[in-house]
Chain A
Amino acid sequence: MLRTQISLAGIIFVAVFFETVLVPGVWSMLRVDLFIGMIIGVMIHLSFSEGLTFVLITSLLLQAFSGARPGLVPMIYLGIFFVACLLKGIIYMENILTQLILAGVLAILVASALVISLDLNPSQTDLVSMAIGGVLTGLLSPLMVALVGSLKKTYEA
């Protein structure tokens, strides 16, 4: 379990580099959330205990890269984890298309919830960047799910 958690934490560093350096370097307003895909991945491939521990610890790490109120980032990602756990019993999560749509919808929902709760007036460019970010998050999520799955298989072998 510990090896899996350490490897996943290592992947998180690469994901943060991608999210905060590479993507904003292309378009400063664009954010692509790779962590949502990882949450779906751990929910599918790991046990509830392992998944929850991973989400809690890594979302605390992610808090270091955000100006959000302390606790808000873990709350959002734990919320996503619980929603994904609930949906696991309803929909077939192993399907790539399901993962793609779920991650994209969750990313857009989180961004919209933040915009509404903070009473912001986003410009049209902001809305476009959020929509594109949601689509890209959805597109990259199956890759992150597969990454978590392959990691699990490697350690099981």
Chain B
Amino acid sequence: MGHGNTNKIILTSIATVVVIVLLSLGQYRSISSGLSPIREAFFVFEKVVTAPFHFAHNIWTDYIFLVGTRAENKEIKNALDQARVQCMVAQELKSENERLRAMLDFKSEHSDFQLFPAQLLSQDITNVFKTVVIDRGRTSGFFADMPVVSPQGLMGRVISVSPHTSQVLLITDPISAVPVIIEESRVKGIVKGMGANMLSLEYVRNTELVQVGSMVVTSGMEGFFPKGLRVGRIAGIWRDPNKIFIRIMVRPCVEMSKIEGLFGVGFHAANAN
């Protein structure tokens, strides 16, 4: 056997052993924390790369665009057009006002928990797993298993944290499971992710009364989430008399593809009832 072949076999064996060891230790989520320095490096890289674009954008929006607007305004004499512009500005302000009001309402609704604002940094490299990386980490008060919410409802929980970034497992991820309760009927179940922007409510018995449109909220039991966070609305129910459980689809309150502002909730699993 040649020297090259021996090298190939040794390298292949090492690679196989590494993969097997990682897969067998995969149940321990803490392993992924060991990769947080890579995300930290990416955080710095992302900031450096986007800095010139932000700078150019700021110059455009704060200077060039305003000069153009001023010159254009001088030319525009028609009062109707001015009114249209004002209307557009007012509508933008209105939508911004609504967004801020929703965030404020959310804060006052959950005043018993400290909320830590954050922004989206990047998404999962695969389109099967649903995790995101946010721009706040340990130094901003984020910790592992911290619930993450948006003003619309529950988004997920932190699974790995580094000084300046956190990896968040969204509730739509196939391995996510959240204990919930249907608000009206008080029926309990587990909401599981389905990859797409849809959830599956499981372990609800066929005899239970469940209606389409009912709100599903976190039950706060034995989990990482405080009680009463909005998860989604029941979008479809399929009953099979031969099965013990009903098949229930839940549409999440948060549109995961349109995440803007989000909050980490200062809630520790130890506080759960």
Binding site for B on A (CB under 8 A): 13, 16-17, 19-21, 24, 28-31, 33, 48-49, 52-53, 55-56, 60-75, 78, 111, 114-115, 118-123, 125-126, 129-130, 133
Chain B minimum-CB-distance residue to A82 = B12
B67 beta carbon closer than 8 Å to chain A: no
B102 beta carbon closer than 8 Å to chain A: no
Chain A minimum-CB-distance residue to B195 = A120
Among the listed A24, A64, A114, A120, which residue makes an inter-chain contact with B123, where contact means beta carbons less than 8 Å apart?
A: A24
Q: How many residues of B contact A (CB 8 A)?
A: 53
Contact A66 B129 (CB under 8 A): yes
A120–B196 CA distance with the chains assembled, in angstroms: 9
Contact A120 B194 (CB under 8 A): yes
Contact A71 B26 (CB under 8 A): yes
B212 beta carbon closer than 8 Å to chain A: no
Among the listed A67, A121, A125, which residue makes an inter-chain contact with B129, where contact means beta carbons less than 8 Å apart?
A: A67
Contact A115 B195 (CB under 8 A): yes
Contact B35 A63 (CB under 8 A): yes
Most chain A beta-carbon contacts within 10 A, residue among B4, B124, B128: B128
Chain B minimum-CB-distance residue to A123 = B196
Interface residues of B in 79-126 (CB under 8 A from A): 121-126
* A-contact 0/1 string along B13-31, CB 8 Å cutoff: 0111011111111100001
Binding site for A on B (CB under 8 A): 4, 7-8, 11-12, 14-16, 18-26, 31-32, 35-36, 38-39, 41-42, 45-46, 49, 121-131, 133, 159, 167, 169, 173-175, 194-196, 198, 256-258
Q: A49-B11, A65-B39, A70-B22 are in contact. Are A114 and B126 (CB under 8 A)?
A: yes
Among the listed A16, A33, A64, A74, which residue makes an inter-chain contact with B32, where contact means beta carbons less than 8 Å apart?
A: A64
Chain B residues lying within 8 Å of A48, measured Cβ to Cβ, are: 4, 7-8, 11
Contact B46 A56 (CB under 8 A): no
Contact B126 A75 (CB under 8 A): no
Chain A residues lying within 8 Å of B23, measured Cβ to Cβ, are: 69-72, 75
A74–B123 CA distance with the chains assembled, in angstroms: 19
A78–B175 CA distance with the chains assembled, in angstroms: 23
Chain A minimum-CB-distance residue to B160 = A64
Contact A123 B15 (CB under 8 A): no
Chain B residues lying within 8 Å of A122, measured Cβ to Cβ, are: 195-196
Q: A13-B45, A67-B167, A114-B126 are in contact. Are A75 and B19 (CB under 8 A)?
A: yes
